[in-house]
Amino acid sequence: MKRTIAWVLGLLLSAVLIAPASAAPAQAAAPYCGIYWGSLAKTDPGYGYQASLLAARAGQHACYDRLVLDVRGEIDGYDVRYVPMVYADGSGFAVPVAGGADLQIVVRVPIVDDAGHVTFRPPSTSRIVNVSGFRTFDQVALAGSFEGQTTIALGVRARLPFRVFVLDGPGDQTRLVIDVAHRW
């Protein structure tokens, strides 16, 4: 009998001690800088040959690093995703980049215009944009341009949330913008 009373009192005491903690609503962690992007692939399945890549540039912001691809004409499609390794268009050779994760950027525009003139010729294919000192970006490399599409290998510190969008202008140009958050 004494064991039963002790057991019941133990249960009641446990319920009293645990109840206030479990009655409080769970607090979800606030998103970093209001970012809800995620790290899954972002794609636009369009395809076209009426545009060409002109330039690549990068910038640093308070909550993310940004890569911008300038295109003459309209961007008809893209595919941006984390991959184990980026491979060169045409040859299939691995394109290693510095960082903890590889972001493969495929923009469905070539680096030549309709007349066959090269429109994008970076000084180095292994470092098409200088991102030294960036918080998230480690390296940006050209992985090739083949059959109307261009692939960029973006080495980032870790598999972090990212977003992709297209901006119109200036003039007849469009820009593919890839933002990668500094952290989750």
Query: Tokens standing for 138?
Result: 């480690």
22 lies in a domain?
no
pLDDT of 182 reads 97
Please name which of 153, 40, 137 lies closest in space to residue 103, comparing C-alpha atoms.
153
Question: Tens digits of per-residue pLDDT, 10-53?
Answer: 544 455 444 444 444 455 566 789 899 999 999 998 766 689 99
Here the CATH number for the domain that contains residue 50 is 2.60.40.3500
7 lies in a domain?
no
14 lies in a domain?
no
67 Cβ partners below 8 Å, 6+ apart? Answer: 56, 57, 58, 105, 129, 137, 140, 152, 154, 177, 178, 180
15 lies in a domain?
no
* Number of domains present in the structure of the chain: 1
How many angstroms separate the most distant Cα atoms in the chain? 97
Q: What is the pTM of this model?
A: 0.82
Give me the percent of the chain exceeding a pLDDT of 70: 82
The better pLDDT of the pair 78, 22 is held by 78
24 lies in a domain?
no
Where residue 94 falls among pLDDT bands split at 50, 70, 90? very high
The better pLDDT of the pair 30, 174 is held by 174
60 lies in a domain?
yes
Mean pLDDT of the chain: 87
pLDDT at residue 171 greater than cutoff 70: yes
Q: Which domain holds residue 174?
A: 33-181
138 lies in a domain?
yes
47 lies in a domain?
yes
